Amino acid sequence: MSRSQALLAALALVAAAFFANLLVSVVGGRVDLTEDRTFTLSPASRRLVGKLDEPVKLELFVSRADVKLGAYRESYARRVETLLRQYVAASGGKLRLIVTDPKPDTKDEQRAQRHGLNGIRTAQGTGYLGLTAQQADTVKGIGYLDPTREKFLEYDLSKLVASVTRLERPKLALINTLNISNEVPPGQDQQAGPADVLLAELGQSFQVVTLSNQATELPAGVAVVVLLHPHHLADKLAYAVDQFLLGGGQVFAAVDPLSRFQKFQQGGMPFMMAPMALGASSDAALLRGWGVNVELDAVTGDLNRNLPIRGARGEPVQYPPAIAVGRESLNLNSPLTSELHELQLMEAGAVSLISGAAKGVRFEPLIALQGAAVGAIATTAANAGPFEKVSLAFRADGKPRVVAALASGSFTSAFPKGAPAEETKPADGKPATPAAPKAPATPHLAVSAKPGRLLVVADADFLLDPFSVRQRQAGGQTVAEPANDNLAFVLNSVEALVGNDDLGSLRTKGTALRPFKVVEDLNRKAQVDYQAKLDEIEKQLEAANARIAELGRSQGDLSKGLIVTPEIQRELEKAQKQAEKFMDDRREIRRQATEEVTSLGRRLQLLNLLAGPLLAALVGLAYFLLRRRSSN
């Protein structure tokens, strides 16, 4: 092939690609090759819009003519519009989409402002990128379609459509002892809290009412109760939760054998474990009264799924009780976990059904660890630390452990004697005495009047912001991004408990979480292989440094008339050489521990650089061979 023929072949290849792209854009065909079908409307959304009883009008406000949003926002606006048209096509005529350009000083802009859409400052003026949904006289909207929430786009759109069809949000009661609240004290500024993101996300779908463990009753009309590591519930509150479940209510309970966040709140002091986090009067624990047990004497670990934790020396330690739970440990048949990819748990317990205590209860594991690397270590040992010591002391026993489960059906009351007795106020230093029981406003339920659902997770830290999201700066604002699927699991579960199974399953669609398992496994193996060696070197180095310090003090005693003999000087030099050798050994161990990962990174970089040219060369070669065959 001559030079001119090669040039013509290259130009023909570029032209073919251009016209193929043009043809696809005109015809409208798309191929979604993403693993999660990110750009394709999910079956859950199709079911949701297919069940609409009354028509809903969607109006997408996007500035385009007089005000320019910029290439980034404009590209995202077209992504939103494309997805909305899929909603319309799947609705059977119940959804109608209108795209409006709210030009400055027009009635369209006034309508956008009236619906609460957020203006975007641009060089040409105020622009808009928002969406409203209207059914009859009810109008709700998304003030700003934030591109940073692209992973939640389908969830946000489906939630908007679902919200406009109901008059009010369900009420959620959050009972906790971790000082988590969505209420700001009068005259005080809002301080960053440990669950701000969790509360904000819950607040989009629920009316969230936060209660302390000493509250006396549940809010009227509550749809779901969330128990977040609550210690020693007041008797009346525990009884109210008990009767709520037995009346067909929905309860989400996160019970932790060792809450790291509670330790932090207590100033990092060792945490004296209560016999059980959920106390029902002075009898057995509330969950045990319902037939469900959470093991609090030991924390679960896994040598193959452990995560690195910063140790006492400031270096990462592969800590078995810190677990990265992948799809192999999730119940893929449950809508609560089928779409999740990875959860991260910190010193979780284990959940089980008490044999014979819950005959009418169905127990469905959601997160279960199994394999030869699974084990547990005593809570007291994990609490004492440090992480290095706990890691070395951990032993796998291969016993499967359920970390989260859904119990449903007919429960037995944790208060077999009925409502707890009222207590009279103490007088003159005398102890309080039980008052005569009052007739209850509603009859006591000894067993479930209606089937209830209880979702139990043997960890509480995992749903707090420090364990579930990471903060980053974008456009001068702090943006919270999911660090894993922890938050999605909690929100999916709570929404499913109140009946929004379809909506809950959408939250994790399009996740960008793609852990590089090869690198993770290499790091984990290196830590396991070299941790014991490193600990031994550290002990020897500490001993050498202690000897150097002791001999140094001898030299410093010259002013007291003591003489440093040549033998002491030689011993000091020997100890210093030993310390230098130990430091060299430690450096070499660390280098070996990361060498495989570094080597893999170099190979991937080289492959990434060569992939484009190699692909182009292969296409050119194929074209040349085809032309040569046709000319013969």
Give the Cα separation of 604 and 598 in Å (integer).
10
What pLDDT shows up at residue 290?
92
> Do 456 and 407 form a contact (C-beta atoms < 8 A)?
yes
- pLDDT grade for 284, boundaries at 50, 70 and 90: very low
pLDDT at 278: 42
pLDDT at 603: 67
For residues 531 and 311, is the Cβ–Cβ distance under 8 A?
no
pTM: 0.65
pLDDT of residue 282: 33
Lowest mean pLDDT among 92-101, 107-116, 171-180, 306-315: 306-315
CA angle 574, 579, 581 (to 5 degrees): 95
Whether residue 425 is predicted with pLDDT greater than 60 in this model: the reply is no
Closest CA to 503 of 112, 17, 166: 166
Percent of the chain with pLDDT over 70: 67
Banded pLDDT at 25 (limits 50, 70, 90): very low
Q: What pLDDT score does 223 carry?
A: 93
- Phi-psi sector, 172: left (phi>0), alpha (psi -120 to 50), beta: beta
On whether the CB atoms of residues 402 and 365 are closer than 8 A, the answer is yes
Rounded Cα distance between 248 and 222, Å, is 12
pLDDT tens digits for range 570-618: 776 776 777 677 677 666 665 665 565 566 556 666 666 666 677 767 7
* pLDDT score of 28: 47
Label residue 558 by pLDDT band (50, 70, 90): very low
pLDDT at residue 163 greater than cutoff 50: yes
> Average pLDDT over the chain, rounded to whole?
77
Q: What is the mean pLDDT of residues 64-74?
A: 87
Which pLDDT score is estimated for 513?
Answer: 41
457-469, pLDDT tens digit by residue?
999 999 998 888 8
User: What is the pLDDT, as a whole number, of residue 400?
Assistant: 94
Whole-angstrom distance, CA of residue 4 vs CA of residue 10: 10
Q: Residue 87 above 80 pLDDT?
A: yes
Is residue 445 scored above 70 in pLDDT?
yes
* Confidence tier at 436 by pLDDT (50, 70, 90): low
Number of other CB atoms surrounding residue 347 within 10 Å: 27
Q: How many CA atoms lie within 13 A of 285 on its CB side?
A: 18
pLDDT tens column, 2-21: 556 555 555 655 555 554 45
Range in 40-54, 88-102, 413-427, 546-560 the model is least confident about: 546-560
Q: Name which of 166-180, 529-543, 546-560 the model is least confident about.
A: 546-560
Q: Assign 426 to helix, strand or coil.
A: coil
Q: Which two tokens stand for residue 109?
A: 């802009």
| CB 511 within 8 Å of CB 485 | yes
Q: How do residues 309-325 score in pLDDT, each as one tens digit?
A: 888 777 788 899 999 99
- Tell me what the mean pLDDT of segment 503-527 comes to: 53
Question: Is the pLDDT score of 414 beyond 80?
Answer: yes
Reduced 3-state DSSP string for 233-261: CCHHHHHHHHHHHHCCCEEEEECCCCCHH
Q: DSSP 3-state assignment of 201?
A: helix
CA angle, residues 519, 365, 412, in degrees to nearest 5: 150
Residue with more model confidence, 269 or 350? 350
Distance CA 506, CA 45 (A): 8
Contacts of 478 by beta carbon, 8 Å cutoff, 6+ apart: 471, 472
What's the pLDDT score for residue 11? Answer: 60
DSSP-based three-state secondary structure for 621: helix
pLDDT for 580 = 73
| Residue 210 identity | T
User: Mean of the pLDDT values across residues 203-228?
Assistant: 90
What is the C-alpha separation between 247 and 218, in angstroms, rounded? 13
Q: 187 pLDDT exceeds 50?
A: no
Residue 9, classified by CB atoms within 10 Å of its CB into exposed (0-12), middle (13-18) or buried (19+), is: middle
- Closest C-alpha to 350, from 335, 366, 372: 366
Output the pLDDT for position 483. Answer: 86
272: pLDDT strictly greater than 70: no
Q: Omega into 386 within 30° of 0, i.e. cis?
A: yes
**pLDDT on residue 27:** 45
Of the listed ranges 5-9, 69-73, 376-380, 492-496, the least confidently predicted one is 5-9
Strand partners, 482: 469
Amino acid at 497: L
Q: Is 61 helix (H, G, I), strand (E, B) or coil?
A: strand
Could you tell me how many helices (H) and strands (E) the chain has, helices first? 16, 22
> What is the distance between the alpha carbons of residues 77 and 147, in angstroms, rounded to a whole number?
9
Query: How far is C-alpha 595 from the geometric centre of its chain's CA atoms?
Result: 31
**pLDDT class of 191 with cuts at 50, 70, 90:** low
Rounded to an integer, the average pLDDT of 381-391 is: 88
